[in-house]
Structures are given as structure tokens and as C-alpha cells.
Structure 1
Amino acid sequence: MLTQPAGPTILGFDVVFIGTLLIAVAAAAVIFAIYTAITVRDPMAKRVKALGERREQLKAGIAVAPRKRQSVVRRTEATDKLTNVLGSFKMLQDSQIKAVQQKLFQAGIRKKEYAVAVIFARLVAPIVLGTVVGLLVYWVEYWPEWSSFKRFMAFAFAVGAGYKGPDIFLQNKITKRTDAIRKGLPDALDLLVICAEAGLTVDAAFDRVARELGRAYPELGDEFALTSIELAFLTDRRMAFENLSYRVNLDSVRGVVTTMIQTERYGTPLASALRVLSAEFRNERMMRAEEKAARLPAIMTIPLILFILPVLFIVILGPAACSIADAFSGGGPGAK
């Protein structure tokens, strides 16, 4: 049994060990920041490569509607191995793979075979983390003063974190990407209106907007460029718009897709419909900003009470308190 080293502790943890761990994390963060600052890469190269791959797929006739796909996993050597392992546990279903693939698309990850890796991570991560924490808590007994309830909670937290970790990671990327697309959508619709009034076709308008907004809003430019490619190569233009709503988890994009499909079918004026949508989305963005500004006083209350007011009281009342203490102790400037 491993005994806890003598020394100051906080909640049963060795202060020296925690300090060393924090120093190591800070040093790693500094090294990573320096590395990212030195090795700055142009994101346009990766985006152009992904768009080129999609164009080649459409040229080869590989693309089909997502809901009509029968084989939803691209066959690779690594994917085959993971598929065999998950198939032995009866954990690989087409509906589950389709749901994970949609999340990957919404997160901006174009590799469909990563869906099997996500499902495999759900299986392996709880076992690995649970085994490590279980060994530390029950077998090694690194924290012998912990009660049985605290040990069980640590083990349960490790297992739960391992199982929900991949989903939380994907959801975080989806949320960030969706917010970035929502922020640039009104500007993109304004440019679409200008392109439509200038006489450009729909696919040329999407391509123009993607090139104009590629630097300011790379996520939105990426989606519009993919839509432009699919409009140029797919036989059914409705499928290209539905793929856009499939890749973006945003009600505003679904409204734009519905409008584009209706204009394609019934021949309604595209510029007027997009102008109305742009005004609505811009008002929605302004209302969201006002809502955040209205929540700011309530959010600042706790930091104000915990960090600002105590320092303010010390600065204002500190000299007066010292003078009063000196006066009562007889150590003032007039004392003899």
C-alpha cells in the first residue's frame, strides 16, 4: 500500500504534487502557444483540398443523398478493424452511424469513417479511465483517507467522463461552428441578394459569396462553396440545398434552404425573399446582442462581490483603520 507523503495537503491532495502538476501544465501550454505561433498555417489550403475532394467525388458519381445511403461507412483498413471489433459486441448499427456522421458533418469533419472511431471511443474510453481510476483508488489506495462513497464517486465520474467525452467534444465543435455560421449568415444573404440582382445564377452566386466571405467567415464560406459545387454537379438541385441543411444545425439555414427550394420550384423572385430573410436574421442578431448586454449586470454581480469590492474596501478603509488602531494603542504621531 502506498502511503501518502508527509506535508501540507488540500482536500487530501499533496500541495507539492498539485503545484508540480500545475507547473507542468503551464509549461506545456507555453510550449504549445509558442509552437502554434511559429507554425502558422494557411487554413485555405485545407479547405481547398476538401472542396477538391468533394468535387472529384461528384465527378465520379459517388455522391448520393444522405438519407438514401445504404453503406454509410467508407471501407478502409482501420475502419474494417474497428467495425469488426464493434460488430462482435453488437454495437454497430446503421442508424447510430448515420447520427454520428451527421454530427461530424455539423462539426466540420468531412471524414465519414471517423463515425466508427467515435463509437469505438465510447466503448474504450470508459474502460480505460475506469480501470486507471479504479487502480489508483482501490488497489494502490493513493488517497487512503477517502471514504467508500468518495471512491465510488471518483470511479463513476471517470466512467461517465469516458463515455460522454466524445459526445461532449463533438457538441462543443458543433456549437462553435454553428455560432460562427449564425454570425455571418445575414451578411451572406445580403451578398446573395446583390448577386441575384446582378443576374448571376444560384450556383455562381453561392460561389461568389463563398469567395468573398471565405476570410471573414471561413465556416460559412466552406459550406457555401460545397453547396456551389453540388449545385454544379448534382442532377437534383434540391439535393444540394438539403445537404446544406444536413451539414448545418441551424434553423436559419433551414429557412434559407426552404426559400431556395421554393424559388427553384415555383419561380418566385429570389432577391426579394432573401432580402426579407436577411432583415429578419439581422434583427435576430441584434436582439441576441441586446439580450447578452441585459444579462451582463447579473453576471458581473458575483465577480464584483468576490474580487472588486473587498479590494476597494481595503484601499479605502485600510489607512483609516491603521490610523484608528494607532490612536487607540497610543502609538500615534502625537504620542510621547
Structure 2
Amino acid sequence: MLDQPTGPTLLGFDVIMVGTVLAGLAAFAMVLAIYAAVTIRDPMAKRVKVLESRREQLKAGIVTSATKKRTRLIRRSNSTDKVKENLGKLNVLQDSQIKVIQQKLAHAGYRNKELAYFIIGARAIMPIVLGGIAALMIYGIEYWPDWGPMTRFGAFAVTLILSYKGPELYLSNKANKRTKEIQKGLPDALDLLVICAEAGLTVDAAFNRVAKELGRAYPELGDEFALTAIELSFLNERRLAFNNLAYRVDLEAVKGVVTTMIQTERYGTPLASALRVLSAEFRNERMMRAEEKAARLPAIMTVPLILFILPTLFIVILGPAACSISDALMGPDGAL
């Protein structure tokens, strides 16, 4: 059987085959980019629904509504009551633990405080379920027979730990991402609040206006400001609306803004000047964080430069020369 002719090779790899695979990956990435650009959605659509539900809750708390809403609330709370009852029988409910999880839910952007009971239930049930599955696969049917005793025990322990800490890690990760997004847009939001205050708008109208302007650039911050504007217009004490904002956002800068707003409401100090000072401070902090990241960049790029960029550069520069030298040494008939 005659050998089929092959294409040019570089370091033992077929150049045509590697180029074809890379071209296919590039085409697939281009299709994904086009699909993501075409199917982009408005980030405020879902948040507007949440804010409308919050508005309805505030209305129901102030104005006595019809019995239909009460029956809906009763039906909705039946599942939560069942979870509470089952967890109470297991003696895993503690008031301090519930408050901590409810605050983490608020930091992650979840408005329903009743989800805390489901998270506690998940932390109690998931280790049993996933641990049982892991024990069955590792020790029962021995799905991985090549694993040693320590490897099996380590895999089983990691499964138990992740199943117990999984919901909390998910909330912490989502809360950190949300806090960073709010931190990015806070100086711009304070600048707009200063403009609105100098234009003569009230505090709730200023918050509502800033939420509309920053809704697309910073949807998380726009969501919080819109909810604060709703609470300012419905709650009996305006201080509670500001305290709720500080409760929902795990950021010291937001707590400083809330303290300033409460003091201006209590003592009648000018709001625009205080917010202007805070905006300048937050903008300087953002610039310092950017400079810190830029200063760390050379040290961070050293390892990728050594592992990925320099070998590729050597191959591109020395590869053609190596091919020419090998062809010259091998001769036209393929022999030295």
C-alpha cells in the first residue's frame, strides 16, 4: 500500500490540519459573538418587574387591599411555613443564622427574605443526598476502581464540604460581583444626585431620575436607587428607606452616603455640597484602585509571558529557519 502524501509538518504536527482546526475555532467564536450581539436583552426589564412587586408590597402594607391579595400571600407562604415547620423539628433554625442569611440574600440582590429558610434546608439536605450518591459511587459500586483509600476519602470529604457550603459560596460570589458593579457606578451616581439637588428636585425624585439615567450602564445601582425612591414615597419615615439601602448593599461608601442623607434630612444641611465632597472622595478612591491594578500588571504578566508568549514567539521566529536547516541536511531524497 502506497503511503498517502502528507502536508508540511512543524515539530511533528501537520500544519494544514492545525490551521484548519484553528480556523474552525475562530469561525465558531465569531458565530457566538454575533449571536450574543444580536440576542442582547435589556437588563432593566426583569428588574422593573421586581420593583413593581416591591411597590405593590408597600401599597399592601399601607392601604388595606382586598381579600384576594391576602389569599395570594397565604398561598405563597404555605410552602415557606412547611419548610419552617420541618426545619424547626430538626432544631436547625436560629434567629442569628436566619438574619445573617437574609442579609446575604439582600447583598446578592434577592428581595424575598423567605428564601433564607430554603437555603438552610438546602444546607441540611444536600450533604445527605450528595454525600450518599458519592459514597455509593466511590465505595459501593466502585465507579473509580483505580483510586486509592486516601483519594476516595478526599473525594468524599470534598463532596460533603462543597454540598454544605455550596449555597453560601454562591451567595457570596454573587454578592461580591454585585458590590463591585455598584462601587464602579457610585461616583457617577453621586454627581447626578448633585445636579438633581442643585436643580431643585426632591430627594425621592432625584433618586428616581438617577436610577433612570444609570439603569443601562449600572443596572444594579439603578435597581437600588429606584427601590429607594419607591420606599421614600411610601414609607412613613424616610430614614427607614435610607437604612434599607445600607442594609441591601455591602459597601462602606453607600453607608457613608446614607449617613449623609440622614443628617441632611435631620439638620437641614445643604445636600449638594455634602454629596459633592463624597463624590470627589469616591472618584479619587476609584482612580487609586485603577493605579494599583496598573502597578500590579507587570508582575502578573510575567508568568503568562514566560509560559505562553515567549514559546510562541520562538516557534514563529525559529520555526522556518529550523525547517530550512532540516531540509538542507536531509537532502532532496530524504537522506543525510
Partner of 1:176: helix, strand, or coil? helix
Alignment of 1:208-247 (within 5 A): 208-247=209-248
Tell me the distance in 2 between the aligned counterparts of 1:101 and 1:36. Answer: 34
| 1:278 partner amino acid | S
1:58-108: CA deviation from partner (whole Å, max 9, x where unpaired): 223379xxxxxxxxx997122122212211110012221111111111111
Q: 1:330 to 1:137 in 2, by over 3 A?
A: closer
Q: CA deviation at 1:232?
A: 1.3
Alignment of 1:193-272 (within 5 A): 193-272=194-273
1:99-148: CA deviation from partner (whole Å, max 9, x where unpaired): 11111111111111111111111111111221111111111112222111
Tell me the distance in 1 between the aligned counterparts of 2:97 and 2:270. Answer: 40
Q: Which residue of 2 aligns with 1:68?
A: none
Partner of 1:109: helix, strand, or coil? coil
1:182-234: CA deviation from partner (whole Å, max 9, x where unpaired): 11111110010001111111111111111111121111111111111111121
Q: 1:232 to 1:317 in 2, by over 3 A?
A: same
The answer on 1:191 being equivalent to 2:192 is yes
Contact kept, 8 Å, 2:119 with 2:167, in 1: the verdict is yes
| 1:60 partner amino acid | A
Tell me the distance in 2 between the aligned counterparts of 1:36 and 1:133. Answer: 37
Contact kept, 8 Å, 1:323 with 1:332, in 2: the verdict is no
Q: Which residue of 1 aligns with 2:121?
A: 120
| 1:47 partner amino acid | R
Give unmatched runs, 5+ long, in structure 1. 1-31, 64-72
Alignment of 1:129-168 (within 5 A): 129-168=130-169
Q: 1:172 to 1:309 in 2, by over 3 A?
A: same
Q: CA deviation at 1:45?
A: 3.4
Task: Output the aligned Cα RMSD.
Answer: 2.8
Contact kept, 8 Å, 1:234 with 1:240, in 2: the verdict is yes
1:282-329: CA deviation from partner (whole Å, max 9, x where unpaired): 1111111111122222222121111111122223233444555667x6
Q: CA deviation at 1:172?
A: 1.0
Q: Which residue of 1 aligns with 2:60?
A: 60
Q: CA deviation at 1:331?
A: 4.0
Partner of 1:111: helix, strand, or coil? coil
Tell me the distance in 1 between the aligned counterparts of 2:37 and 2:126. Answer: 31
Tell me the distance in 1 between the aligned counterparts of 2:172 and 2:101. Answer: 11
Contact kept, 8 Å, 2:211 with 2:225, in 1: the verdict is yes
Q: 1:62 to 1:111 in 2, by over 3 A?
A: farther
The answer on 1:51 being equivalent to 2:88 is no
Between the two proteins, the alignment pairs up a number of residues equal to 294
Tell me the distance in 1 between the aligned counterparts of 2:79 and 2:37. Answer: 33
Tell me the distance in 2 between the aligned counterparts of 1:137 and 1:307. Answer: 37
Tell me the distance in 1 between the aligned counterparts of 2:44 and 2:315. Answer: 53
| 1:218 partner amino acid | P
Give unmatched runs, 5+ long, in structure 2. 1-31, 64-72
| 2:150 partner amino acid | F
Q: Which residue of 1 aligns with 2:22?
A: none
Tell me the distance in 1 between the aligned counterparts of 2:244 and 2:80. Answer: 24
Tell me the distance in 2 between the aligned counterparts of 1:35 and 1:123. Answer: 40
Contact kept, 8 Å, 1:118 with 1:166, in 2: the verdict is yes
Runs of 4 or more, structure 1, over 6 Å off, are 32-39
Partner of 2:61: helix, strand, or coil? coil
Moved more, 301-310 or 161-170: 301-310
TM-score, with structure 1 as normaliser:
0.80
Tell me the distance in 1 between the aligned counterparts of 2:271 and 2:53. Answer: 30
Tell me the distance in 1 between the aligned counterparts of 2:33 and 2:91. Answer: 43
| 2:264 partner amino acid | T
